[in-house]
Every structure is written in C-alpha cells, then in structure tokens.
Amino acid sequence: MKRGRKGSDGGSSSSSECVGDGFKKVKAQEETSERAFDWGGLPQDVVLHIFKYLPLLGRAHASQVCRRWNHSFHMPELWRCFEFELSQPATSYLKATHPDLIKQIIQRHSNHLQYVSFKMHVVDHVKGSPTEETRNVLVESARLARGDIQDLTQLKVSDLDAVIFPGGFGVAKNLCTWAVEGKNCSVNDQVKSTLLAFQGARKPIGLCCISPVLAAKVFPGCELTVGHDTNDDGRFPDAETAGAIQELGCKHVCKKVNETHVDENNKIVTTCAFMCKAPLHEIFDGVGEMVQDVLKLA
C-alpha cells in the first residue's frame, strides 16, 4: 500500500511537472508569436481603414510604424475628407492641430482634397481646456444677451443707426479666420458685406477687443486700436496684433484700456477691452466710452 501511494504520488508529481512545462512552452510560443507579428504585413485596405479612424496627430504617429504604413499615410484615398481641430492659443497644446501641420497637409494633398472641415473647440474657461460639447453661435448669443437676437442675414442697415461688434476670441474663430491665419485671414462674407454696407451708408461702426482686425481686413488704411504694440508689464499679451494691423496697411494708435480711438473719416470707433489684462472696471469704462463715441457719430 505504501509503495502504491508512493508511486501514485510520484506519478502525480511527474504529471504536474509535465503540465507545467507544457504551459511554459505554450506561453513562450505565444510571446514569440506576438513579437514576430508583422504589422507591415496587414492588407493595404485594412491599414487605410485604421488610418481613417485616427485624428491627424494619431495618423502622423502611426505612419512611423513601418515604411508601408508611411506610404499609406500619403495615399490620396486618405485625404479626400479631413477635419482639423482648432482651439484658443492658450489651450492649443491639448488637442488642436498645429498650424504648420495643417499647412503641410493642405500643400501636399490640395489636389485631391474634396472637403476640409475646421473644428473649433468649445473651451471650459474654469479648467482652461477644450470640452467635447458643441454650441451654436446664434443660440449662445440669445442666451447671453437675453434680448431680441436675429441672424446677421436679417439685418437691414436702413433700420439701424450704427453697428457694434463686441469682440471676444469667437470673432477670430467664427467671424473670420484670424485664429488660424492671422493677417492672411478671410472675413465671413456676411460680416464683410455688413461692414461695407454701414460704411457706404456713412453710419458709425464700433469694434472692441479683437474685433478691430475685421476692419483692418475690410477697410485698408483705416485707424484702429487694440491697445499697445508692446507687452508693457505683461498687460498686453497679444501686442503683436497691433503690428499685424499695421502690416495690413492700417494705422494702429496705442491707447489705454479705458480709452478709445475714433477714426473720423471712416466713422470707426475702437477700444482694446480684454486685449489688455486689466481690472474689469477699467475694461467697462473703455467699452462704455466706445459706445458713447459711436452714438456721437450716429
């Protein structure tokens, strides 16, 4: 009996060792198989399918997997439709597509690009980062103003005495492409026609914050202010905007945050508002002065 148990125990131990060795061999084979997997051997249509689900930066990273994937990255089929992501400069490192990369893609693939979308981020100003939500400019205007809001296409110059563009970075993203292209930007057609219509009717135009760049693009030679042309004591972080305005053939006049500049010839009144890091009451004074100067010209 003892011998039988001993033999049985010995057989069990030997069987266990065999199972253990077999498991190790299987595991080793799986690891070797994973290491030996040839990602470059995937069919071309599969690789293209993978790329189509990746954002631009993800595509750029994936193109470095192997030479074949890099070739797929530049295939025309991949660039017939693409969405570039944009956000405010302060948060662009989080998710936005770098402007140089956008320029490179458009230069390389412009001959077969059929549709390009520029997606503007909604920014959570508490965290200083983009959020995934989307907003409608007209709906947001109505929510903030709590007043009678209409689409710009419904505007009739004959019904109004003046027009004021309040500014904010939304102007640089939605009313023109200054956020992406700077002085080489284009102005929304409806905005441009509105500005030209008011000037043609000799009715005053008020612009504050970043919105004076609209006038710089539409009215070459006009006089404007976006504050100072140097970043004095860190109060004017976007001072280079003044230089860009001058490069467009306009005259930039340096003013304090609570001051305005009046271009009598073009009936344009501007103030820098939030282009200056100033206390709210000083910004309030400047915007109020702009409104009063616009009314004086009406």
Catalytic residues: 209
Residue 205 β-bridge partners: 163, 268
Q: Are 224 and 215 in contact (CB under 8 A)?
A: yes
Give just the sign of the alpha carbon dihedral 246, 249, 254, 255: negative
CA dihedral 9, 14, 20, 25 (to 10 degrees): -170
3-state helix, strand, coil in the chain (%, to 5): 55, 15, 35
Residue 293 CA to residue 212 CA, distance in Å, equals 15
Residue 236 CA to residue 227 CA, distance in Å, equals 7
